[in-house]
Amino acid sequence: KEFSSPYVLICRNYKGDVDMAEIDHFLPLLMTQEEEGLTCPIMSHGNVHFLWIKHTNLYLVATTNKNSNASLVYAFLYKVVEVFTEYFTELEEESIQDNFVVVYELLDELMDFGFPQTTDSKILQEYITQEGTKLEVAKTKVPTTVTNAVSWRSEGIKYKKNEVFIDVIESINLLVNANGSVMSSDIVGTVKLKTMLSGMPELRLGLNDRALFALTGRDKGKTVTMEDVKFHQCVRLSRFESDRTISFIPPDGESELMSYRINTHVKPLIWIESVIEKFSHSRVEIMVKAKGQFKKQSVANNVEVRVPVPSDADSPKFKTSTGHAKYVPEKNLAVWTIKSFPVSVSSKQHFLWKNDEMEGKPPITVNFEIPYFTVSGIQVRYMKIIEKSGYQALPWVRYITQSGDYQLRSNF
C-alpha cells in the first residue's frame, strides 16, 4: 500500500527460493529513489530483484533472484490487475481485504511454480466464484477449457441465432503546434469481436492489408500497412506469418481480437483556431472556432473542446453558436460540448480573471467520435465462418474513429 501506512496486504511465494522477508526492503528502496528523482521499475537488494507496478493506492511487486524475463513479469502483473478488476470492479485495498479467499484462489490459478497458467478471466470465473459456498462446489469439477487445446472457449455453446459483430475502432493521436503545423501523429487501431456462435467455429478474417496484397500479387484499391500488430491468443500466428491469414477459433462473447498501429501523417479531423484579445480591467476575450475536416457525409458525435483558463478566472461567461459551454474550475478548463458536429461551427467565449497571464501554455484538447469511418481506410474484406454442423451465420461490421491524445497548442 501507499507510504502513509505501508504493509503487505497479501503475498504468494511460488517457488520458495526468495525469503518472504525480502519484501520489507522494497518500500525503503522506492522512497530513496523517489527522493532522488530516479525512480526505476526494477530495483535490487543483494541478489533479489523487485519488479513492480502501481495501481491506484497499491503496489504489485514480483521478486526474483534469477535473470528473469522482465517483459513476461510485467505482462503478468498487468494481467493480474486486469483479472482482479474483472472480479472486484475496483482493485484497491478494500477489495483485497474483503476477498482474501478468492484472491488466493486466483493467485494459485494464475501462476504455478513461477510459470503463468490460466489468465483468462472468463475461464477463471467458471470455477472460481466470489461466493464461498459456490467456491467449494466449483472446485470439484474443473472446466474442460482449462485442459483443452482451446482454453479460451468452452464446448457445447449453443445459440438460436448465430452472429458475429466486428468493431474496427481507430484512435488518432495528434499534436499541432501554435503555428498550425502537425508535429506528430499516428493511428492506434483495435478490432473487437462480440461472438454469438454455436459449437467450435473456425473464423477467417480478411483485411485490406498491404502485405497480404503484395504476397498474392494483387494491388487493387486502397491498402494499409499495419505495424506493431498484436493478436489475441486464439489467432494462429504461424498461419498469419506465412500467408497473412487471420485464422482463429474465437472466444465466446466480447473480446479484443487484435490491435495495430499505423505511423502516418494524419490531417486533423477537427481543426481549432483560437484568438485572444485583452481589454482593460483584466477582461479577456477568447474566441475559439472549430471546423470539421472530414467527409461531408460523416458527422462527429459527442465533441468536447477543452480550453485551458487561468486558475484565478473570475465569473467566466460563454456565448456559443452551437452546443453549450461550461466552466470546470477544478481542472482550470472551459469545456465546449457539441452533441452532433457538422462541417463548421464557431463560438465566442468570454472570461474575466484577476491575472491576465496563463500559468504555462497548456494545449487545447479535443474529444470526439466519428461513426462509419476509419481515418486509415482499413476495411474488413471478408469474414468466413466455418462450423462442422454447417449453419449459416451473419457477420456485422462497424467502423469508428475517435480521438486519442489529440492536442492543439495555442498562443494564449
pLDDT tens readout for residues 219-260? 566 888 889 999 998 999 988 888 888 999 999 999 999 999
Residue 286 is part of which domain span? 270-371
Residues 367 and 382 in one domain: no
Residues 251 and 398 in one domain: yes
Residues 251 and 312 in one domain: no
C-alpha cell at 254: 466480447
List the CATH number of the domain containing 365. Answer: 2.60.40.1170
Contact 258, 235 (CB under 8 A): yes
List the CATH number of the domain containing 68. Answer: 3.30.450.60
Residues 173 and 258 in one domain: yes
Residues 322 and 358 in one domain: yes
Residues 195 and 329 in one domain: no
Residues 300 and 220 in one domain: no
Report yes or no on 152 lying in a domain: no
Residues 306 and 250 in one domain: no
Which among 39, 44, 37, 3 is positioned nearest to 22, based on CA atoms?
A: 44
**For the whole model, what pTM was predicted?**
0.72
Total tally of structural domains belonging to the chain: 3
Report yes or no on 249 lying in a domain: yes
User: Which residue has 482463429 as its cell numbers?
Assistant: 248
Residues 106 and 253 in one domain: no
Residues 366 and 386 in one domain: no
Report yes or no on 146 lying in a domain: no
Q: Which residues contact 37 (CB under 8 A, 6 or more apart)?
A: none
Q: Tell me how far CA of residue 24 lies from CA of 29, 56, 64, 73, 104, in angstroms.
A: 9, 20, 14, 20, 21
Q: What pLDDT, on the 0 to 100 scale, is given for residue 164?
A: 96
Q: What pLDDT, on the 0 to 100 scale, is given for residue 183?
A: 93
Residues 36 and 184 in one domain: no
Report yes or no on 153 lying in a domain: no
Residues 367 and 381 in one domain: no
pLDDT, tens digit (0-9, with 9 covering 90-100), for 267-299: 999 998 888 777 766 677 788 888 888 888 889
What single-letter amino acid sits at 281? H
**Strand pairing category for 48-55 and 42-45:** antiparallel
Residue 74: Cβ-neighbour burial (10 angstroms; 0-12, 13-18, 19+): middle
DSSP single-letter state for residue 22: G
**What are the residue ranges in the chain where pLDDT is below 50?**
1-4, 132-140
